[in-house]
Amino acid sequence: MYSPADIRRYAERRLRDFKVSLVDGCSLFPLEIQRFGRARTGKGIDAVRTEVELLMSEAKIGDRPTYSVESYDTRSTNLGSRQFLPERVFFATETDYVGFLRIGPSISAFRQNVELTKRLCPGLIPWIRDNIARFDKHADEWSDILTVCTYFVSNPTPGLYARELPIQVHTKFVEEHQTILDSVLQHLLPLAIDPEADDFFSRFHLRDNEAFVEIRILDAALAAQRGFPARHFKVPLSELAALPLAGTKVLVVENRLPLLTLPGFPGTVGVFGGGNAVTLLAVAGWLRDCSLFYWGDLDEHGFSILARFRQLQTGVQSVLMDLTTFDHFAAFHVDYTPPENTPETSLSEDELSARSATVSMRKRLEQERISLPFAHAAIERAMRGRGGQE
């Protein structure tokens, strides 16, 4: 036979079911305590009385909200006389159940948030039913979450910075609640999100955290001809495609210092390719009309970026990423641990040889360790071979 502590544990296990019933607008009551079990009369009258007294110590008396007990009439030789023993324990009403668990305030807030959702954003009701714990976790700010949701339902592609959104929440609310908003908005707007985006802002067409690409125009005459007031600048990704740079030579370098130390090259533009910049360059349609070069570290990471660049753009030529360069600067190799099982894609035979050497020797050659005269001469030869007269 269950004790009051056992009944409490059972009631707590059914709490999620109870909340789902509130979302669905149905009732669980009367809620039976399953597998309650009758008193074991074979234990003797004293043991049975102790069990029954413990059970009845928290049973319903008058209007006190708690569980109810029904008993049956029995005569047993072990008990010595006629007895009324518990055979059924249940919560007769929601009030009894909530009062027994002492969860009245939280259930009132739960109900209010469910009703507010049904009124303002009914499309979220299935999400609430499947995410009771997360819904509870954000009970205090749920009304603000609904405010954001209703805005996005009417404006699925806002194209604004998060703090520009014309909604009545504090200016950092969207930024500080990205995780929960990402979940509910994906439920509400499955067809409006950007499926290839890898962050919250991009997925929901917001301009926050817009990436920038750093560019150096290595030819003063080219900058003047194309109308650039500056030769070294950063451009937001949303404006990259509009740059008048078609027909130039574009040298993407993995690290920033090599970009800063590049000398003048006729008709040439240098681009900082660190981080995710190679992928970001895919938006620049003018690259299709350019001669493309890539110079990165001689290690697994550098060759992976080169391969990714070639997957996005055709005709990319590597510079200083060959076995000759790797061997020439052997004195400047540094130890590293290459990743395992990297696929060999989009690399030439010479590039594969250099990459194989870095892996087998567990050595890498960083761009910055190659002497500038050697590097610049190699870049000039590569460009002369691809771009005609200098």
Residue 202: pLDDT band by 50, 70, 90 thresholds?
confident
Residue 46: pLDDT band by 50, 70, 90 thresholds?
low
- Three-state DSSP at 357 gives helix
pLDDT at 79 over 50: no
Residue 1: pLDDT band by 50, 70, 90 thresholds?
low
Largest CA distance in the chain: 116
Residue 212 is encoded by which pair of tokens? Answer: 């920038």
Per-residue model confidence (pLDDT) at position 389: 37
Per-residue model confidence (pLDDT) at position 48: 65
Per-residue model confidence (pLDDT) at position 22: 95
Residue 325 is encoded by which pair of tokens? Answer: 């360069």
C-alpha distances out from residue 226 to 137, 222, 235, 348, Å = 55, 6, 16, 34
From the options 3.40.1360, 3.90.1150, 2.60.120, 3.30.360, give the CATH code of 212-387: 3.40.1360
In the chain, count H helices and then E strands: 19, 11
More reliable by pLDDT, 205 or 263:
263
Long-range Cβ pairs for the range 126-130 (8 Å, 24+)? 126/187, 127/183, 127/184, 127/187, 127/188, 128/23, 129/20, 129/23, 129/24
**Mean per-residue pLDDT, 138-157:** 93
Of 25-34, 114-123, 339-348, 364-373, which gets the smallest average pLDDT?
339-348
d(Cα 362, Cα 309) in Å, to the nearest integer?
A: 24
pLDDT above 70 covers a percentage of the chain that reads 89
Of 224-238, 256-270, 326-340, 342-356, which gets the smallest average pLDDT?
342-356
Contact indicator for 286, 238 with CB cutoff of 8 Å? no
Torsion sign (Cα): 187, 188, 194, 197? negative
**Mean per-residue pLDDT, 219-223:** 96
d(Cα 331, Cα 216) in Å, to the nearest integer?
A: 31
pLDDT at 77 over 60: no
Per-residue model confidence (pLDDT) at position 111: 94
pLDDT at 7 over 90: no
pLDDT in tens, 166-196: 998 988 899 899 999 999 999 999 888 887 7
Residue 295: pLDDT band by 50, 70, 90 thresholds?
very high
Compute the mean pLDDT over every residue in the chain, rounded to the nearest whole number.
87
Contact indicator for 316, 309 with CB cutoff of 8 Å? yes
Per-residue model confidence (pLDDT) at position 97: 93
Per-residue model confidence (pLDDT) at position 323: 95
Per-residue model confidence (pLDDT) at position 69: 87
Per-residue model confidence (pLDDT) at position 212: 87
pLDDT at 351 over 60: yes
Residue 390: pLDDT band by 50, 70, 90 thresholds?
very low
In which residue ranges of the chain is CATH 3.40.1360 found?
Answer: 212-387
Selection from 12-26, 154-168, 336-350 with the highest mean pLDDT: 12-26
